[in-house]
A and B are shown apart, each in its own frame.
Chain A
């Protein structure tokens, strides 16, 4: 919903805002994209940034791959499309609970995955529409773009589980400030790479 409001604030029209929800279907990447659109970022950098923000999904893909390998291709395609943070949290914990064996002991688990994924997809589309609808009614003086920073402040702390993750966050934040002047709004990508590198270094040093 917040995404819908911000998308309108950034100058996206309703159709484009809704299209992004169904095509990209990734909360944090869409929020970042609205910020970049607001600042008039070139399309190529926009695409690259969304790609970097969504890189973590490769990790989910690797993690569920053993459990879906016996399924036909159309199932793999559908489940891959629905593989968001939330769907992974639900389906991944179900697979973990059933034990490591990918043997089809409960052969219908992919329906569980599909159900969770589709429910999330549907509520995401609905709440985007609600946000787009509301966004048109909210005056810009309310500083609603600040909700983007607030959402991410709330999301970042559960991520800081150890010193390496903390180092990644601090380095990325710092570099983001230094890199403000970079052309084409490349600062975010540079900052993310610096943060990932810092995390790896700190983790590697500890052992």
Chain B
């Protein structure tokens, strides 16, 4: 129930964000620093999530070669740079993780 309410609140906030300048009739000039800052939201958010998903296991940072997800993510990164294709990247990354798990897991 709390979760549903939270999602509702998040939905309303997202809607208001999208409505913000449309509702202001475009008559208001957006401060330049805001426009500049908004450009950095996607790279910042995406990489923060990737870092915590790949490098953190059970609340601890794992940088060693024992972290199979780190190896698979490195392969996926190479594929992402070469192909620039989301689906190919996901496929390659999952294939890499499954292969590593099969080879190295006890």
Contacts and interface: CB of A to CB of B under 8 A. Distances in A.
Interface residues of A, number: 90
B42 A172 contact: no
Nearest to B63: A177
Nearest to B89: A154
A-side interface mostly: helix
Interface in B7-56: 7-11, 13-15, 17-27, 30, 33-56
B24 A177 contact: no
A156 interface: yes
Contacts of A196: 37, 40-41, 44
A132 interface: no
A147 B66 CA distance: 20
A195 B94 contact: no
A165 B56 CA distance: 23
Given A149-B54, A188-B48, A200-B33, A68 B89 contact: no
Contacts of A76: 19, 22-23
A8 interface: no
Contacts of A171: 44
| Residue picked from B21, B33, B73, most chain A C-beta under 10 Å | B21
Contacts of A16: 3-4, 7
Given A32-B49, A56-B42, A172-B48, A150 B21 contact: no
A147 B18 contact: no
A175 interface: yes
Contacts of A24: 7, 10-11, 14
Contacts of B47: 152, 156, 168-170, 172-173, 176, 195
B94 A32 contact: no
Nearest to B44: A195
Contact of B81 (A23, A157, A203): A157
A116 interface: no
B13 to A, nearest CB: 5
Contact of A146 (B19, B25, B48, B97): B97
Interface of B: 2-11, 13-15, 17-27, 30, 33-56, 59-61, 69, 72-73, 76-77, 80-81, 84-86, 89-90, 93-94, 97-98, 101
